[in-house]
Amino acid sequence: MQSSFARAAITFVGARIPRVRWDRFGAALGATLVAGPALAQDGGGKIDGADTAFMIAATALVLMMTLPGLALFYSGMVRKKNVLATMAQSLIATALVSLLWIGVAYSLAFSGEGAFIGDASRSLLAGIGIDTVSPFAKTIPEILFMLYQMTFAVITCALVAGSVAERMKFSAFMLFCALWLFIVYVPSAHWVWGGGFLQKMGLLDFAGGTVVHINAGIAGLVCALVLGSRVGFGRENLSPFDLSLAVVGTGLLWVGWFGFNGGSALAANSRAVFAIVATHLAACAGALVWSGLEWFQRGKPSVLGVISGAVAGLGTITPASGYVLPWHGVVIGMIAGGVCYWFCTVAKYKFRYDDTLDVFGVHGVGGIMGTLLAGVFATRAITASEGDPGVAGLLEGDPHQLYVQAIGVLVTIVWGVIGTLATLKIVSLITPLRVTYDDEREGLDIALHGEALHQ
């Protein structure tokens, strides 16, 4: 059921695979397997107990966002016959991406000096010992930094599934996760956080506006367009199975975001709290604005609207959270509530694309807006630290940062489109992406997993 757009798009794709230093990979592999305790390589920092304790907690919070936060959030919104299959996607993404992360993904993202990709020196966590510290997080163990970043990779892959809920094959999704991680996520993480060219250019992305939200949103949209709309989209009743599950999921996401944005300070300090405060206020503002718009336009404020507005606010503040003042968080949240509302309730039906759980409408659009708004609201007093004079945004009189943010957004979108199309093309050579019509009608729980909810 692929559209002609999909066929045209796929013909123009050539996959670009990052050049991996296989000689170094082999050496690292040998060192890990043969040597005894790994040699400690000091990144030049001293491990701090408070920072480490906080980051352990933050890591757990972010993992909780996927399991069970996202699993519940998504499953509550699909139809009963697809609830278990939707949860399975979050579960399998966690298992698969975690293992690939310690394999070579972490290394390619966060070690090495390349402008576009890292190296394989940290494959299988080679060289990471008890005292090792990453240059990107000098006061916590590198193994913790690796684990924290793992949870970000996991949730990004799990998020993409939302756009193609109720129609993607399980095997295709697993292959997609494995490939997309390396083709899109890892390079993007390297460019923005791992010493790559966007970071060197001064791009501000505190907790993942580009790496997580734009990537997930764009990938979701591309997948939704390539796989095509669900059977009955726009005609049949596709209403949610149980929104109370989605509400519980939202709560876990909202609380978990304290670790997602707060933990991105990589230290237990005041900046982490400023990030958390801006995050929480953005969620509240987003919820109220979306709700208010719906109340005004439709006559009733829906529960789905409240939770959607909150998540929109949370996603949008993400890249700006550690750079702005609390009241900026309120403004950013309000903008998110309004703009994402339009994308999810108007644009989707006007342009007829079945971005089922609004990954593009909330995370994609939110990530784009938030990354740009970071360039507007960046506040020198918040962004400054020892030896770093900080960055000012448009409001404080410096338009340059906004320009850098725009480049970051554009690069991320372009590579996201190319990389996702390439990934889908490769996967489709191995297995069909979409389930059959009969399986879609019967429901993915039975068709893909042989299980059912007996409610």
Residue (59 or 86) nearer to other proteins, CB: 86
Contacts with other proteins, 229-248, as mask; x by CB under 8 A: --------xxxx--------
437 forms part of the interface with other proteins (CB under 8 A): no
Residue (303 or 414) nearer to other proteins, CB: 303
Quote the CA–CA distance of 196 and 213 in Å, as a whole number: 19
Rg (alpha carbons) of the chain, rounded to whole number:
21
Residue (276 or 306) nearer to other proteins, CB: 306
- Options 142, 166, 358, 440; binder of other proteins; rule CB under 8 A: 358
Among 1-9, 50-58, 249-257, 295-303, which window interacts with other proteins (CB under 8 A)?
295-303
Q: Which residues, listed in sequence order, are joined to residue 205 by a DSSP beta bridge?
A: none
Among 111-119, 204-212, 302-310, 322-330, which window interacts with other proteins (CB under 8 A)?
302-310
Supply the minimum distance, in Å, between the C-beta of residue 88 and other proteins: 23
* Range 187-226, binding other proteins (CB under 8 A): none
Residue (4 or 237) nearer to other proteins, CB: 237
Residue (52 or 302) nearer to other proteins, CB: 302
User: How many CB atoms are closer than 10 A to CB 202?
Assistant: 13
User: How many CB atoms are closer than 10 A to CB 113?
Assistant: 8
Q: How far is CA 23 from the centre of its chain?
A: 31
CA angle 180-344-284, nearest 5°? 95
* Range 104-123, binding other proteins (CB under 8 A): none
304 forms part of the interface with other proteins (CB under 8 A): yes
453 forms part of the interface with other proteins (CB under 8 A): no
Q: Spell out the residues 6+ positions from residue 190 whose beta carbon is closer than 8 angstroms to its own.
A: 108, 109, 110, 114, 116, 117, 118, 196
305 forms part of the interface with other proteins (CB under 8 A): yes
Supply the minimum distance, in Å, between the C-beta of residue 349 and other proteins: 6
344 forms part of the interface with other proteins (CB under 8 A): yes
User: How many CB atoms are closer than 10 A to CB 29?
Assistant: 17
298 forms part of the interface with other proteins (CB under 8 A): yes
DSSP annotation string for 41-108: ---S----HHHHHHHHHHHHHHHHIIIIIIHHHHHTTS-GGGHHHHHHHHHHHHHHHHHHIIIIIHHH
Q: Are the C-beta atoms of residues 445 and 453 closer than 8 Å to each other?
A: yes
- Options 300, 351, 387, 429; binder of other proteins; rule CB under 8 A: 300
Residue (224 or 304) nearer to other proteins, CB: 304
Supply the minimum distance, in Å, between the C-beta of residue 236 and other proteins: 9
Extract the tokens encoding 359.
């990954």
Among 43-51, 133-141, 340-348, 431-439, which window interacts with other proteins (CB under 8 A)?
340-348
Supply the minimum distance, in Å, between the C-beta of residue 361 and other proteins: 8
7 forms part of the interface with other proteins (CB under 8 A): no
Extract the tokens encoding 48.
């701090």
Helices and strands (H and E) in the chain: how many: 21, 2
Q: Are the C-beta atoms of residues 86 and 74 closer than 8 Å to each other?
A: yes
Supply the minimum distance, in Å, between the C-beta of residue 359 and other proteins: 13
Q: Are the C-beta atoms of residues 262 and 280 closer than 8 Å to each other?
A: no
Extract the tokens encoding 169.
């094959």
Inter-axis angle of helices 326-342 and 365-377, nearest 10? 150
Residue (107 or 356) nearer to other proteins, CB: 356
Contacts with other proteins, 52-91, as mask; x by CB under 8 A: -------------------------x--------------
112 DSSP assignment: S
354 DSSP assignment: -
Q: Tell me which residues touch other proteins (CB under 8 A).
A: 77, 237-240, 298, 300, 302, 304-305, 308, 344-346, 348-349, 358
